[in-house]
Chain A
């Protein structure tokens, strides 16, 4: 196994290490760097106690800082970046307390305190990002953080203080970062790094080829395997900019497999190809996980309830598969055909998913529905997406997908065929819902029984129509009747 040494900025000092790049960043932070303010609460991306800030220089200058869950992050993800931990924030403020910490103190928002560093990190990231400095934005910012003590009341009040104090931050990222450093919300190392200081630029390293195993965000891999054993062929895909690009060529939208879920929903090209798709970002995991999870990982993890896959199937996405060491080997198949059986893929060892291709003509109607126990940060029991192209009131092309109702994510062929070519009416909604329910045979597991999944799917398909045609009395009536039958 070749060892490559890794360099990054940890708070205000440069760290160089030859530890295996697949090691979980959390262990490195807590053990090697002895920064124990970053906590281990679950090691599965679900609690936020391990959150850290990660800054990455942008090609156009400046740096983007995001809060990420360090327990599912490979060490490789730190390369050439700026890691900021709770200790780093504290060191930059007089008396060791940043304004975010002080707001928590004043509102008594830290009880046992185990969750506190994570909350401070994500709310600091929220101020740095600065685009939703309101109550809803704060709620979204803490969507990946659990607190078992406070009931969140005091945390909400602390956030309200921050909204009041920082509402008027400058909108330009660089000026905002300077303002936050001046207010001691972040230490001076952030603007310094953003301006190209503290860590000299090094060229990104080429991907390991042939790829032994690939890592996207790690949010699936490290959950399944929290103590990975070093092995060769480790490829951290997001390090390759070409795999992250989202570009539009004519009517085709190409989304790089290593683009994160966050980047996918933020992309103007994606938003214009699928109007309204951004409404569903909050249905996927938490902001922490979305900051790392990639589209390729969502597809290759092959979970029957993968949400992005469900959306992409309804949108008719084509997946591109390549061997990085052999050019000209690309093949393209419809996404639903990637799945052969439970966690079985049409993907050979060494092959990578490199991109998803979407047709970006017209303005399709799109909706996504998800049934889960908790409405946020929860894996679906059932999900479904619908894409409809309309000519007047007639559906010229309709696709409905479903997850959690079979061993693989599905295109509901029966229901999709049924709606294509039909007029949109209340009875069509009911027929489609029943057709969807009758073409699946789910199993029972921890997230729900088979009977529940079938009923849920039926109702979520009804919900597609009720949501897409809110003003159509015929549809609303038919849906209501069917729901209370």
Chain B
């Protein structure tokens, strides 16, 4: 099957991920020794017992770093290996190398790191009270909230907490590094950003970037977890290779990965919302305490996205919101699909839920009355164009026959004391572009070989989002050649330089556009040659499926023929393409601008079934209507929407990070951290795309798809809440995502004393 070449290899077990690559015989296996308390000062590292274990054992510490021992580029707060202090439970302290992985793991157990305890902080509000911030707080506002509240008929306020989320990419973090000619280093990394790794490794090793080659092959999933946090592992492998002169492979076992790496940021937020007597929202205020963890990482960008998405898919005339990046002694929380937006959506959805309770209305009524409309201006001053929120909402409610469904659910609930159904709807409005402006650029290198086959290299890392398949389609349609003559190569810093991470849903927008530019350039040269040879007008000529057409009819010439002619005529059949998303600007001082190229819209509905006796619940039904504009590949987009929804639903109703009071992650295995399995998602997602419409602001009229549908999962939380209220209208339930059977049971039994600490730690 065309364009699915990669998938066929996956299915045959032939795709080589990091740990599948053959290793040179002299390769060493690496692992790390993790800290065993949340915060402390290192006094002594004793490696004698580890070194005595086997002659191949090497123990490498901060003192061995030849360059600058620093990974943080925004804030210098992330040493590769700590020199003085460790800042969370599970932080890598030293690197251990040995002949086999089992030996390396045993060596790590034998290394003793002694230290003095320091007082940790885990709660973001407590950190804020102490002034422990990564960067200063940020506030965005529009209109006048005080005035709005003063004339409002209804005001609701409250608190909403959302927990973190472990990525559980099925392939854990890994890297392979070796010296080339004894002076340069080559790294194969499971990273979303080859350049990110290249830059950091160069800094750590004290090398210029041109002496560091980074290759990113196919990843076994990433979801944001390998955007910034693949870097340290790649640098550790490179450090090991640099110090020992031998190739080094590092592939984390699941437990080490779960303990040491960052996850989605937990948030704790306060909100106040006001509305007029008809339920039109007048104002929204929020304070977001982002639990940033031990270092800066991507926290500022994530907070930006939270602030930009504070109002969800709603029109709110008066806004004041503040975000705090609170430094705590937990793993450095990082990018995870949605990148701070789902956290914001949860807060506004909770606020509307609280408002609905005040007004004695259904939350869905309020949502329907306040959807964003064409021409609305966001609270940061961006006019919205091509708005499809209402279109999606209307289509969803019609398709799901919402009024009837609601009535059926109420009737069912009245007849079943021990079983309740609950439902919730959520509208979507998600901005596309990196919130950090300079990141909105990308390059591509396209070669057409003498036989007419095409090779495309870009910065886009293939990690299951099937960006390679989309880029192949872009190249195939731009050159007018069959899809199976196009191959998309892995990402390497040798072929495309200065790439940005494949993230923010922009992978195909940016890299596809860059590939398009390169293809168009080559196509132009070939068409020029064709004009010269045939005397036909360039404007009339086109390629389709590898044939040269003139005004639609075959000229008898093929793409391949012309390529050969070009080569004979010494015409360059390679081109570099570049793309910088146009029209973006943002004034960080004024907190005003247009940071997004466009928005993605949609809406979803989730119905949950609650077992009142046992406190367990299941997803009964899920429906979504989603905007993919004119898709590059609807089959790929369907997989993206289904996958994102599954992760959102997991985050909202199942996946719980549990930390001990001492800051130790207790849910550090797949037996204690539960993500959706096929059974959990057996209801599936009824998915409908909005009618095709061209998006002028992305490649070939398409829209990005990776992150926005994750928000739909939030409806799962409110659906279970709705079911609990059907059983116990008097229940007082804090907005505390994820929902868990324990929390449901607590609500159903009128509150349990001594339930565990909140998941947000």
Contacts and interface: CB of A to CB of B under 8 A. Distances in A.
Nearest to B417: A480
B728 interface: yes
Nearest to B20: A36
B10 A116 contact: yes
Interface string B1-30: 100101111111111110110000000000
A40 B171 CA distance: 8
Contact of A484 (B12, B727, B742): B727
A295 interface: no
A375 B681 CA distance: 11
Interface string A159-173: 000000000000000
Contacts of B105: 227
Interface residues of A, number: 84
A464 to B, nearest CB: 11
A415 to B, nearest CB: 17
Highest count of chain A CB atoms <10 Å: which of B10, B168, B219, B466: B10
Contacts of B728: 484
Nearest to A481: B417
Nearest to B709: A151
B748 interface: yes
A445 B669 CA distance: 14
Highest count of chain A CB atoms <10 Å: which of B13, B14, B251, B658: B13
A368 B20 CA distance: 43
Nearest to A135: B682
A143 to B, nearest CB: 6
A21 interface: no
Contacts of B746: 451-452, 455
A379 B666 CA distance: 14
A259 to B, nearest CB: 23
A484 B413 CA distance: 14
Contacts of B15: 113
B741 A38 contact: no
A1 interface: no
Interface stretch (A44-52, A206-214, A318-326, A338-346): A44-52
A148 B679 contact: no
B755 A451 contact: yes
A287 B745 CA distance: 29
A4 to B, nearest CB: 21
Interface in A147-198: 147-156
Contacts of B643: 111, 148-151
A234 interface: no
A115 interface: yes
Contact of A456 (B14, B17, B170, B745): B745
Contact of B13 (A37, A146, A152): A37
Interface stretch (B115-123, B438-446, B632-640): B632-640
Interface stretch (A100-108, A248-256, A261-269, A357-365): A100-108
Interface in B398-429: 417-418
A371 interface: yes
A462 interface: yes
Contacts of B680: 374-376
B616 A150 contact: no
Highest count of chain B CB atoms <10 Å: which of A41, A101, A112, A143: A112
A164 B9 CA distance: 25
B671 interface: yes
Given A375-B616, A483-B418, A112 B463 contact: yes
Given A146-B170, A376-B680, A378-B674, A111 B13 contact: no
B223 interface: yes
Contacts of B579: none
B384 interface: no
A38 B13 contact: yes
A451 B757 CA distance: 13
Contact residues on B (Cβ < 8 Å of other chain), bracket = 35 or more
Interface stretch (B194-202, B234-242, B314-322, B607-615): B607-615
A105 B7 contact: yes
B646 interface: yes
Contacts of A381: 742
B595 interface: no
Contacts of B555: none
B677 interface: yes
Given A150-B643, A452-B746, A484-B612, A104 B171 contact: no
A77 to B, nearest CB: 19
Nearest to A104: B11
Highest count of chain B CB atoms <10 Å: which of A147, A445, A447: A147
Contacts of B418: 466, 479-480, 483
A194 to B, nearest CB: 23
Contact of A113 (B11, B223, B612, B750): B11
Contacts of A151: 639, 642-647, 676, 681, 685
Contacts of B618: 375
Interface string B240-256: 00000000000101100
Given A36-B20, A117-B11, A459-B615, A111 B754 contact: no
Contacts of A113: 6-7, 9-11, 15, 218, 220, 464
B229 interface: no
Given A148-B170, A148-B675, A456-B615, A111 B12 contact: no
B102 interface: yes
Contact of A148 (B635, B636, B647): B647
A106 to B, nearest CB: 7
Highest count of chain A CB atoms <10 Å: which of B170, B672, B685: B170
Contacts of B639: 108, 111, 149-151, 153-154
A17 interface: no
Nearest to B167: A148
Nearest to B750: A485
Interface string B525-548: 000000000000000000000000
Interface in A439-485: 444-452, 455-456, 459-460, 462-463, 466, 479-480, 483-485
Contacts of A373: 654, 656, 674, 740-742
Nearest to A142: B678
A52 to B, nearest CB: 11
A450 to B, nearest CB: 6
B465 interface: yes
7 contacts: A47-B170, A146-B675, A150-B639, A151-B647, A151-B676, A153-B687, A154-B638
Interface of B: 1, 4, 6-17, 19-20, 101-102, 105-106, 167-172, 218-221, 223, 251, 253-254, 417-418, 463-466, 612-616, 618, 635-636, 638-639, 642-647, 654, 656, 658, 666-667, 669-672, 674-682, 684-685, 687, 727-728, 740-742, 745-746, 748-750, 752-756
Given A87-B13, A148-B167, A444-B756, 20 more contacts: A30-B20, A37-B13, A96-B12, A101-B11, A105-B4, A112-B219, A113-B7, A114-B17, A114-B221, A145-B677, A150-B639, A150-B643, A151-B642, A151-B645, A151-B647, A152-B684, A156-B682, A223-B671, A375-B680, A455-B745
